[in-house]
Amino acid sequence: MGKYVFSFDSKPNLGKALLGGKGSALNEMTNLGLNVPQGFTITTETCNLFYQKSEVLWDDLKIEITTALKKLENDTGKVFGGVNNPLLVSVRSGAAISMPGMMDTILNLGLNDTTLKALAKKTNNLRFAYDSYRRFIQMFSNVVMEMPLYKFEQILDSVKEKNNYHSDLDLLEDDLLVIINEYKALYYELSDEEFPQDPFEQLSKAIEAVFKSWNNQRAKIYRSINEIPDDLGTAVNIQTMVFGNMGDDCGTGVAFTRHPSTGENQLFGEYLINAQGEDVVSGVRTPKPISTLQTDMPQLYEEFALIAKKLEAHYRDMQDIEFTIEAGKLYILQTRSGKRTINAAIEIAVDLVNEGKITKKEAILRINPKQLDQLLHPNFSSSDIKKTKIFAKGLPASPGAASGQIYFNAEAVLKAKSQGIDAILVRQETSPEDIEGMVNAIGILTSRGGMTSHAAVVARGMGKCCVVGCSEIKVNEQSKTLTVGDTIVKEGDFLSLDGVSGNVYLGHLKATSSKSSASYNTFMSWVNEIKRLKVRANADTVKDAEIALSLGAEGIGLCRTEHMFFAEDRILEVRKMILANNALEREKPLAKLLAIQTNDFYQILKSMAGYPVTIRLLDPPLHEFLPKTDKDIKTLSQQMNLETYELERRIEDLQEFNPMLGHRGCRLGITYPDIYIMQTKAIIEAVLLLKAEKIAVIPEIMVPLIIDSKEFNLIKAQMINEIDAIFCAHQTTTSYTIGTMIETPRACLVADEIAQYSEFFSFGTNDLTQMTYGFSRDDSHKFLQDYLNKQIFEKDPFQVLDQKGIGKLMKIAIKLGRKIKTKLKIGICGEHGGEPQTVEFCHHLGLDYVSCSPYRIPIAKLASAIAVIKSEMGNNS
């Protein structure tokens, strides 16, 4: 047609970038032969030109618009401003990327004092015509002329009040006429101009208004949040109005081509006879299910069902379709991919593959890995959530939904559980001493701490719903209450936690869990076929390991031995070991721990028979294990036969200013070699026991926090020494590997030297992030929110791996390491290992595996498969 304006029936489809999403879809549907109310689109480029040309329409453009209108008049047999059969249009924005509700829409444009009468005559419904005109004046005044809406509503309300009406529907024809006249007077008062009677003037002003709406405040903010470039511009769609409210042979509705909650392959939706679109939404009348249209208008139903199939086949995805019936004629107003639950998404994707409509790879690209979380954990129903006020908001530390009674310490949780109560543990922050309480609670809530705080990490490991850093809540552990503002919640009261949103609700909400379906299993089998990365679990116990296997784990990438130290039967020995004055005093507790640890490793290795299990030697600063309460100190001092003050002095000696940068990790292996030697011995003894039972296991012993090759080699030599002695004593051997975590910046920088001795690398990106940023994960919550608010960070670097900084260090380490050993096995076992973007990055880095908490395994697998497919598509981003 020209440079700026394209009719809906123009060919070929010029695409979303130029026509916007809506314009392109209308063009597409028209070309498919569907009955779309005709019209034309002004391109997004025109919008950009509009801003270059001081925000007025120019002659060339106006000529194209006039030409397009002429064609529309010819096609419809109606006349713009015509006194007999007037053409009315809608004017709508439509950008390339959907920005729902952000920009402006004007309906019924073309109405004036003359066409009003024609409309009334043609529809045989004066009230409808008046009401349409009233709405148009109000919409035009507000949207195009930026007059305040409330002044128009005041007029409407005063008429209703005077007549004692309750609803707009009560307004009579005469009342509407009064309102129309008062509207016009108000328009004149506010603009010093009469309400425009010329439809062309109405149209020009409306188009300008849509263009301007591209840069209104909410649109700008929306783009900034969603990272949509400012120079895309919006298209403007001018479309013939059709009316579903002109009688009983009219109607309007919306339908999904498949069920958006279950994915079932049947039409799902609702409609109203003799109604307009907004009547379906407003709830004034109750819409009917789409199935009854079969009875009401059997022929139209057939027609619609066919169109639905056609559109789904064309777009190769489930569609969300808006339609209107005007005088027995079906019009399709809009179609788009339908929103759906994760269950439906998987069901539909698998069905579409089975129907031969999409490939397995396309099916995989259709599922957002993040959504899988919903599938694996219980959820509150969305209707319940809509009805309930949010009581407080924290960080969504571990997904799931938990509704129960609150308790403020581990003992109380235990007691409640023994009485059959679903308990939620509430703490300011958790420490290792709370573990038992966490195990027995159905959910955990803390007022402090970030996404990688103790509570968050442990809860994710357990797959338990957890909300942390909920700073609005003041927790008083003494008085066993929590308060938000003036509301006090006491021990035993109900709270509901949503671990996906971080929302906390007062009272009890019902949580339901979805089961993995046959389609889910099919889908994951395709994911497994396609992905390259192995996906392992971070698992410290046999229970973790079993959950991980059930979720598809291909080994354990991180077994934290320190978590084994906290159980009641061993913490005392651990404390004795730590607080010993010398190696001699350490001997006895170490011997006891050896027996315990040998069994620990025996069990976990056995549970993962045939799969690699990476066991990390003791890592945290020793003071984490120390007794904190007076009672515990007293118990220990008796057990150790030490005066309390002497014990307290030793505890004091172990305190550190910056424990995260202190005496921990392999530094313990350097200063207290006997601890690592004990652990090594326990692992190898366990492997030999299993060997005797003919159970093949693959142990990988991992040394944490390495900074230098000499350091690693010294520790490795001590370990091999011990292992050789065991082999000698047992007159047998077994295979094992010794590798290191790469979690300090220096380890990355000297990875070539370390690779000379290390048999594998595993990136510990939690610590690597802490040190590279200089961010303590326990303290950074004090400023991290500001960094996100001020858009210094797009994402919390503890949640989504920082590819630019941390990623560069990883690249350096991989390059240096594989320079020495071409096939060096490299993985990642930080909290990032289950985050989709990070998994994709790890795929491109050429890692061998990622390891994550059990419940994130399907997510990581899907992200890995997506990475393969995107790579094949040449999209390496």
Exposure class string for 414-429: b at 16+ Cβ within 10 A, else e: bebbeeeebbbbbbbb
Q: Shortest approach of a copy of itself to residue 32 CB, angstroms?
A: 46
Cis previous bond, 12, omega within 30: yes
Spatial strand order of the sheet with 487-490 comes to 474-476, 481-484, 487-490
Exposure class string for 473-487: b at 16+ Cβ within 10 A, else e: bebeeeebbbeeeee
428 binds a copy of itself (CB under 8 A): no
Per the structure block, which two tokens stand in for 111?
């109405």
Closer Cβ to a copy of itself, 360 or 777, answer by number: 777
237 binds a copy of itself (CB under 8 A): no
Instruction: Report CA dihedral (517, 523, 528, 530) to the nearest 10 degrees.
Output: 180
Stretch that binds a copy of itself, among 111-119, 459-467, 515-523, 663-671 (CB under 8 A): 663-671
Distance CA 122, CA 111 (A): 13
- Work out which of 792, 819, 846, 876 binds a copy of itself, going by CB under 8 A: 792
711 binds a copy of itself (CB under 8 A): yes
Q: Which of 494, 491, 487, 529 is nearest to 510 (CA)?
A: 494
Exposure class string for 735-757: b at 16+ Cβ within 10 A, else e: ebebbbbbbbbebbebbbbbbeb
661 binds a copy of itself (CB under 8 A): yes
Contact letters (x/-) for a copy of itself, 801-830, by CB under 8 A? -x-xxx-xx---------------------
Per the structure block, which two tokens stand in for 563?
């978590």
Q: What is the DSSP letter of 338?
A: P
Q: Shortest approach of a copy of itself to residue 714 CB, angstroms?
A: 6
Q: Which of 378, 387, 369 is nearest to 500 (CA)?
A: 378
750 binds a copy of itself (CB under 8 A): yes
- Work out which of 775, 798, 841, 849 binds a copy of itself, going by CB under 8 A: 775
Catalytic residue of the set 748, 829, 842, 852 = 829
Q: Which of residues 718-737 bind a copy of itself (CB under 8 A)?
A: none
Q: Are 763 and 828 in contact (CB under 8 A)?
A: yes
- Work out which of 436, 587, 708, 759 binds a copy of itself, going by CB under 8 A: 708
Q: Shortest approach of a copy of itself to residue 73 CB, angstroms?
A: 53
658 binds a copy of itself (CB under 8 A): yes
831 binds a copy of itself (CB under 8 A): no
Number of residues that bind a copy of itself (CB under 8 A): 49
Closer Cβ to a copy of itself, 114 or 713, answer by number: 713
308 binds a copy of itself (CB under 8 A): no
707 binds a copy of itself (CB under 8 A): yes
Q: Shortest approach of a copy of itself to residue 773 CB, angstroms?
A: 5
Catalytic residue of the set 377, 454, 623, 781 = 454
Exposure class string for 315-333: b at 16+ Cβ within 10 A, else e: bebbbbbbbbbbeeebbbb
Q: DSSP letters along 629-671, please?
A: SHHHHHHHHHHHT--HHHHHHHHHHT--SSGGGSS-THHHHHH
Q: Shortest approach of a copy of itself to residue 56 CB, angstroms?
A: 34
Stretch that binds a copy of itself, among 273-281, 353-361, 388-396, 785-793 (CB under 8 A): 785-793
Per the structure block, which two tokens stand in for 447?
């007022």
Stretch that binds a copy of itself, among 143-151, 197-205, 291-299, 664-672 (CB under 8 A): 664-672
Is 728 considered catalytic here?
A: no
Q: Are 308 and 267 in contact (CB under 8 A)?
A: yes
Stretch that binds a copy of itself, among 460-468, 654-662, 689-697, 731-739 (CB under 8 A): 654-662
Q: Nearest-5° angle of CA 550, CA 551, CA 557?
A: 100
- Work out which of 790, 822, 823, 874 binds a copy of itself, going by CB under 8 A: 790
Closer Cβ to a copy of itself, 79 or 714, answer by number: 714
Closer Cβ to a copy of itself, 30 or 770, answer by number: 770
295 binds a copy of itself (CB under 8 A): no
Closer Cβ to a copy of itself, 318 or 809, answer by number: 809
Place of tokens 């959907």: 98
Q: Shortest approach of a copy of itself to residue 788 CB, angstroms?
A: 11
Q: Are 467 and 397 in contact (CB under 8 A)?
A: yes
Distance CA 575, CA 561 (A): 15
DSSP SS3 for 778 = coil
Q: Shortest approach of a copy of itself to residue 371 CB, angstroms?
A: 30
- Work out which of 126, 159, 633, 749 binds a copy of itself, going by CB under 8 A: 749
Is 377 considered catalytic here?
A: no
677 binds a copy of itself (CB under 8 A): no
From start to end of 55-168, where are the E strands?
89-95, 105-109
710 binds a copy of itself (CB under 8 A): yes
Distance CA 503, CA 131 (A): 43
Q: What is the 3-state secondary structure (H, E, C) of 186-254?
A: HHHHHHCCCCCCCHHHHHHHHHHHHHHHCCCHHHHHHHHHHCCCCCCCEEEEEEECCCCCCCCCCEEEE
User: What contacts 228, CB < 8 A, 6 or more positions away?
Assistant: 95, 97, 99, 222
Q: Shortest approach of a copy of itself to residue 703 CB, angstroms?
A: 13
How many CB atoms lie under 10 A from the CB of residue 729?
A: 9
- Work out which of 774, 822, 823, 875 binds a copy of itself, going by CB under 8 A: 774
778 binds a copy of itself (CB under 8 A): yes
552 binds a copy of itself (CB under 8 A): no
Interacting residues with a copy of itself (CB under 8 A): 656-663, 665, 667, 670-671, 705, 707-708, 710-711, 714, 743-746, 749-750, 767, 770-776, 778-780, 782-783, 786-787, 790-793, 802, 804-806, 808-809
- Active-site annotation, residues: 454, 829
